[in-house]
Amino acid sequence: MERVRVLDSNGRELSPCPLKKARRMLAQGRAALVREDPLTIQLPYAVRLPPGPQVTEDEKPGKGRSVLLHICCGPCSTYCINRLREEGFLVTGFWYNPNIHPFAEHEERLASFEAYVRSVGLPVIREDGYEMPLFLRLVAGHEARDQRCRLCYEMRLMRTAKVAAREGFDAITTTLLISPHQNQDMLLEIGEKVAREYGVEFHFENFRRGWSERGRLTREHDLYRQQYCGCIYSEWERYAGEDVSSPQSGVRDV
C-alpha cells in the first residue's frame, strides 16, 4: 500500500498515511499539498510527540556495554546513534544491506552513510562485497511483502549477530526499528531469535519516537534520502503504486 509523507504545520515529519486517506484530506481541505513526488501533505496544526524517556546517569541501560548497530541507511542512523550513546552504549555501526537494489542505489546510500558516520566519529564494520544474488535467491517465490521482509530482516540481523559474536559485542540492534514503514513486532521476534542463536542480546527500543528528529538531522546533514525501502520489489511498489502480492502483479504466475 502506498504511503504518503505527512508534515505538521512546523514541518515536523509524522507517521506516513495511506494514499486514499491523503487524497481525502486534500479534497476536504484538511491538509495542503506540499509536493507531488514523493507525495507529501501538510496538516494545518502542530503535533506534539511524546519525548523518549529521560536517561539519568545512574540508570543508563547501556553503561559499559557494547552494541553492534545494524544500519540500514544514513538518515535512520542519525537518531539511533545519538540515542544509544545517550544511554551509555559503546556503539559500533554495521553495514550489511544486500537488499538495496540496484547497485548504484546501494553505493549512493553507502556513501551517504559513510560520510555521516565519519562526521559523528562512529566506528564501523562493513561487510565487503554486494550479496544481492543471495538476497534474490532467498526471496524467490516469497515476494509478497510480509514474506520477503521477514527473510530480509533475518538475513541482515543474522549476519549482524554473527559478526557481533565473533567480535565480542554484548548486544545487537538495528536502525530499522525507527521506521514506521517496517514491521517492529517482526523485527523484535527475529532479532531475539538470531541473538539467542549467537549468544548475544537483542536490544529492542522503540526508536520511532525519534522519527521527526531523524528528519531534522537528515536535513541538517544533507543526507541522501531514498525514495523506496530497498529491494526491486519495493521500488516497483513505490513507483507503480502496486502491491507485489496482489493478483494483478503477475508474481503468482511466475
Residue 95 β-bridge partners: 126
Work out how close the CB of 28 gets to ligand SF4 at its nearest, in angstroms, rounded to a whole number: 31
Work out how close the CB of 187 gets to ligand SF4 at its nearest, in angstroms, rounded to a whole number: 10
Segment contacting ligand SF4 (CB under 6 A): 12-20, 51-59, 196-204, 228-236?
228-236
Work out how close the CB of 236 gets to ligand SF4 at its nearest, in angstroms, rounded to a whole number: 10
Judged by CB under 6 A, the chain residues 135 through 174 that form the site for ligand SF4 are 148-149, 152
Distance CA 182, CA 174 (A): 11
CA distances from 144 to 139, 150, 195, 250 (A): 9, 10, 26, 11
Task: Tell me the number of residues near ligand SF4 by CB under 6 A.
Answer: 9
Segment contacting ligand SF4 (CB under 6 A): 3-11, 37-45, 199-207, 229-237?
229-237
Quote the cell numbers at residue 226. 531514498
Strand spans (E) along the chain: 3-7, 13-18, 32-36, 39-42, 66-70, 90-95, 124-126, 171-174, 201-202
- Helices 74-86, 103-119: inter-axial angle, 10-degree rounding: 30
Nearest CB to ligand SF4, comparing residues 27 and 254? 254
Segment contacting ligand SF4 (CB under 6 A): 10-18, 76-84, 209-217, 225-233?
225-233
Segment contacting ligand SF4 (CB under 6 A): 7-15, 37-45, 106-114, 230-238?
230-238
Distance CA 254, CA 251 (A): 5
Quote the cell numbers at residue 216. 531534522
Q: Is 75 in the site for ligand SF4 (CB under 6 A)?
A: no
Q: Is 70 in the site for ligand SF4 (CB under 6 A)?
A: no
Nearest CB to ligand SF4, comparing residues 116 and 233? 233
**Residue for grid cell 507531488:** 36
Q: Is 229 in the site for ligand SF4 (CB under 6 A)?
A: yes
| Structural contact between residues 41 and 5, judged by C-beta atoms closer than 8 angstroms | yes
Give the contacts of 7 (CB within 8 A, at least 6 positions apart): 13, 14, 34, 40, 41, 42, 43
Taking CB under 6 A as the rule, which mask of x and - marks residues 95-134 in contact with ligand SF4? Answer: ----x-----------------------------------
Q: Is 171 helix (H, G, I), strand (E, B) or coil?
A: strand
Work out how close the CB of 178 gets to ligand SF4 at its nearest, in angstroms, rounded to a whole number: 13
Taking CB under 6 A as the rule, which mask of x and - marks residues 5-24 in contact with ligand SF4? Answer: --------------------
Q: Which residues are at the interface with ligand SF4 (CB under 6 A)?
A: 99, 148-149, 152, 229-231, 233-234
